Structure formats: C-alpha cells, structure tokens
Amino acid sequence: MNVAQPIEWTSQGVVMLDQRRLPGEVIHHIYTDYRDVAAAIKDMVIRGAPAIGVAAAMGVALGVERSNIATVDELRDKFPSICRTIAETRPTAVDLFWAIERMKRRFEQLVSAGASLENIRRAMVEEARAVHAEKRATDEAIGRFGAELMPGAGKVMTQCNAGALATAGIGTALGVIRVAVEQGRKLHVLVPETRPYLQGARLTAWELHEGGVPLTLITDNMVGHFMKTGTVSAVVVGADRIAANGDTANKIGTYQIAVLAHEHGVPFYVAAPVSTFDLTIASGEQIPIEERSAEEVTHLRGVRIAPDVAVANPGFDVTPARLITAIVCERGVARAPYAESLRRLAESMSTATHGLGR
Ligand code: MRU
C-alpha cells in the first residue's frame, strides 16, 4: 500500500499536502511562519488527530527557529504566544495540546539548562522531528496489535479518515487494516462517505484505492442496511480524544455506527495512540466538540444544496465506552473496564505490555 505523506519538515520549511483539494488535485504548500501553520490546521489543509499533533509540534518549532529575535530572553517572552496561536486552532483532538505541551517541556528544559539561542532553535526542530518519527513507529505498533483483531476474511467498516493522511505514519484504523492485509487477511473495506466534509469519500476511498485495498464507498445512511444484512465483520475507527473511562470522541457519525454495531453483534474497535488518551477527564461529557461552519452542510464544493435555514454542524460525537469492544494503542489492547486498562497502558513504557486488559 502506498502511503501518502501529509507533512514533512524540510530545510525550506514545513511542507504539507493540501487535503482540502484531494482527491482531485495533489498540491503541496511550504510554510515558513508558525501563524500560517496554525491557519493550515484551522482550515484543514492538514487534519486527523495525530497529524494535527505533528503539525502543532512543527509549528512551534518553526516559531522558535524562524522568529526574528536576538536573545534567549526575547524568545522566552515570545514563546507563550507561539504556543497559544497553535493551540487556538481546533479544540477536540487532544494530540494538538499533547504536542504543544511536549514542545513546552523541551523548551523549558533547554532554557533552564542555559542553552544558547542557536542550540534552542536546533533542539526544538529536532524535538518536532522526533514527534513525527515516533508517530510513524506508533502507527506500526498499533497496526500489529490491531491486525490480530481483524477477521481472516470479511468486510470491515471504518469512518472518516484515520489513515496515513490523518497520522503522518501508516494510519491508525487504516494502519490496522493495512497490516492485516499485508498478513494475508482478505479484507474489504466499507467506507461511509462521512458527510459533511466527506473525509471518507475524498480521503479514505482515495488512500485505499491508491494502496490497492478493495473497498466499497457507501453513503452514511446505508450503514444500518449493511449491518442488518450481515455483511460487516468488524468496525475499526480512529479517535480524537479518549476519556479516562473509555468514552471516545471521533468524527461525527461514529456514534451511530457504534450503536448499530452493538445492535447487530458486530465488534467495534478504536485504534489510537496513547497521546489521544485524555486521562485528566473522567468521561466523554467533558470533551469539547468543535462546531463547524453552516456552509459545510448547506453547500457542496461551493454550490448551495439547501435553503438558508438554521444549521447544526458538530464535527465530532462521543461513543460511550460500553459500545466499544476494545481500544488498540501502540502498547497493546485495552478492554473494559477501561478506567483500569487505559491507565495501565498509559503508565506502561513499551509494547512489551501486549495483551494488557484482555
Ligand atoms: O475533522 P478531522 O478530519 O480532523 O477529523 C478526523 C477524525 O475524526 C479522525 O477519525 C481522527 O482524528 C483519528 S485520525 C487517526
């Protein structure tokens, strides 16, 4: 399977594949100003929780590397506003805040160790690149753990895009499918289009097709039909934020798929890195849900398809933990009770904990 890379640190700046234009056009932008990286996250040039985290880390590094200042003291004064600008982009995916916190910790270490301006700049770029490299390794481990849960043959449903485009690695949910297919499992992916932003139709269908994985694109309102007619063996989705009790925020539409999977006895798996766990919140009720523009609902590619009426457009919903069969991360597989299994995985240090919570 080919892997489309959504973001890269280069000597010219941060290069991003413009996901708003896919699948029609493959266009890259080069960013040299952290404020433009923030705008790119907000405008969905890059999207998907782990990829947003990588972009946030690179945005902070760019702010440090390229800001027009002459001393460490000046940089220390400016640093909080760089982090704030990156943080005020999208509220739901906790990877964004995880990455900013990590960059802040590294910055504080360097400053308190008395590092020079030049060394701080270099080390912050290295930290952002390390975040990217770790995300790749994380996806590979999630893929290995998750593939074991996939059937030997059958139809697997996903939602939105939790592939390479969304993670800067091989993907989480699609990484699981990718590894399972490489192992010889005969999977066929059912891809709901994921209205209103169409990440399923535009991005997942494109990624799977490019990678040679068999798929069928369906509209969101066909999910019940396919569950009822018994053609779905499993569901695997990504996550934007997982609360301490296992409640999981993911793209709008995920919750209704989980309810239908439960009704029809289909296992429902979440694949996400530990950086997506938010153990500071007890349940999904505390997850902030991004409200997006009315135009995404009333218009399709600039063409009005609905009258000028009141519109709701929550970008995410929360699937209660009781509907989730297992949560796969890079350190193993968590099962209920999640308060226990997620905490143990978050505290463990390596993939040696395979099987925890089973
Ligand atoms: O609004 P988006 O496209 O950023 O939403 C993406 C999703 O909901 C993904 O499923 C989630 O971030 C997991 S990506 C591995």
Neighbours of 50 (CB within 10 A): 35
Which structural domains are found in the chain, ordered by start? 7-140 (1.20.120.420), 142-353 (3.40.50.10470)
pLDDT digit string, tens, across residues 159-185? 999 999 999 999 999 999 999 999 999
User: Of 190, 194, 249, nearest to 225 (Cα)?
Assistant: 190
pLDDT digit string, tens, across residues 84-123? 999 999 999 999 999 999 999 999 999 999 999 999 999 9
Burial label for 25, CB within 10 Å (0-12, 13-18, 19+), is exposed
Facing residues of 242 across strands?
Answer: 248, 277
User: What does the alpha-carbon distance between residue 170 and residue 17 come to, in Å, rounded to a whole number?
Assistant: 15
- Phi, psi for 244 (deg, rounded to 5): -60, -30
CA of 273 to the centre of ligand 1 (A): 13
CA of 198 to the centre of ligand 1 (A): 11
pLDDT digit string, tens, across residues 31-57? 999 999 999 999 999 999 999 999 999
Neighbours of 336 (CB within 10 A): 16
pLDDT digit string, tens, across residues 273-320? 999 999 999 999 999 999 999 999 999 989 999 999 999 999 999 999
**pTM (2 decimals)?**
0.95
Residue 354 has pLDDT above 50, yes or no: no
Q: Which residues are catalytic?
A: 240
CA of 165 to the centre of ligand 1 (A): 10
Residue 156 has pLDDT above 80, yes or no: yes
Residue ranges of E strands in the chain: 7-10, 13-17, 28-31, 153-157, 186-192, 215-218, 234-237, 241-243, 248-251, 268-271, 277-278, 299-300, 303-304, 316-319, 326-329, 332-334
Lining residues, ligand 1, CB within 6 Å: 47-50, 93, 160, 162, 166-167, 172, 199, 238-240, 250-251, 315
- Is residue 244 within 8 Å of residue 339, measured between CB atoms? yes
